[in-house]
Amino acid sequence: KNQVEQSPQSLIILEGKNCTLQCNYTVSPFSNLRWYKQDTGRGPVSLTIMTFSENTKSNGRYTATLDADTKQSSLHITASQLSDSASYICVVIYGNNRLAFGKGNQVVVIP
Amino acid sequence: GAGVSQSPSNKVTEKGKDVELRCDPISGHTALYWYRQRLGQGLEFLIYFQGNSAPDKSGLPSDRFSAERTGESVSTLTIQRTQQEDSAVYLCASSLASGGYEQYFGPGTRLTVT
């Protein structure tokens, strides 16, 4: 079983609409959680980094939440744009700087 | 400033051949990571260098895989006797240090083993 589960696996949304991506993890002890955006054919780019004490963090139209008690995080995209079409990867850093990656949420924004 | 660069961007090789992939991290970054991303799959950790410490090789899938880094500069990932299942995008990332520091990714090298 993957240590970081993301859902939905893929999502198609209309331009201008909002969407929420989920990330559940099982690893511990928790250090921090990161969301990355990966455009097709490109390396991942960081959106947010969240530590244990942070519940919400925003980066423009992206808002990440973290519930370290339930080991859940979400990434909310507001007023989606065509350029938001990408894979969104949840990464959990735990233990002695170990990394656990989710498989990503594939988002397609259509006009 | 310049980001992480990787070369070549694409590599096609025959099964059984050796390949060498290169990563140039951001200047001053002491930590360097290699990842593999198979088509439709998540990122898979391979190896991590932090300064002059012994590298964390726990993610290397077999002894055909090895990596080197000279000081805090260039790193090379070598795959010997390539197999078709080695086909993937190999991503390199660097950060100021390990732990909570941001990782900056390169564009990746797409390896195809025929």
CA–CA distance, B30 with B72 (Å, rounded to integer): 5
pLDDT in tens, A100-111: 889 899 999 999
* Tokens describing residue B38: 């198979």
CA torsion sign for B31, A63, A81, A19 is: positive
Alpha-carbon dihedral angle through residues B15, B114, B88, B32, given to the nearest 10 degrees: 40
- What DSSP line would sit under A22-69, residue for residue? EEEE--SSEEEEEEEEE-TTS--EEEEEEETT-SEEEETTEEEEEETT
Cβ-nearest to A89 among B42, B98, B106? B42
Q: What is the pLDDT of residue A84?
A: 97
B93 contacts on A by Cβ (under 8 Å)? 43
Read off the tokens for B42: 């998540």
Q: Count Cβ atoms below 10 Å from residue A105 Cβ, excluding itself.
A: 23
Q: Does B39 touch chain A (CB under 8 A)?
A: no
Summarised one tens digit per residue, pLDDT across range A33-68 is: 999 998 887 888 889 989 988 999 999 999 999 999
Contact A91 B43 (CB under 8 A): yes
Alpha-carbon distance B64 to nearest alpha carbon in chain A (angstroms)? 23
Q: What is the pLDDT of residue A62?
A: 97
Residue with tokens 């880094």: B69
Distance CA B93, CA A93 (A): 15
Where does residue A71 fall: left (phi above 0), alpha (psi -120 to 50 degrees), or beta otherwise?
A: left
Residues from chain A contacting residue B44 (CB–CB below 8 Å): 101
pLDDT tens for each residue of chain B, 114 residues long = 579 999 999 999 999 999 999 999 999 999 999 999 988 788 888 998 988 888 888 889 999 999 999 888 899 999 999 999 999 999 999 988 766 677 899 999 999 999
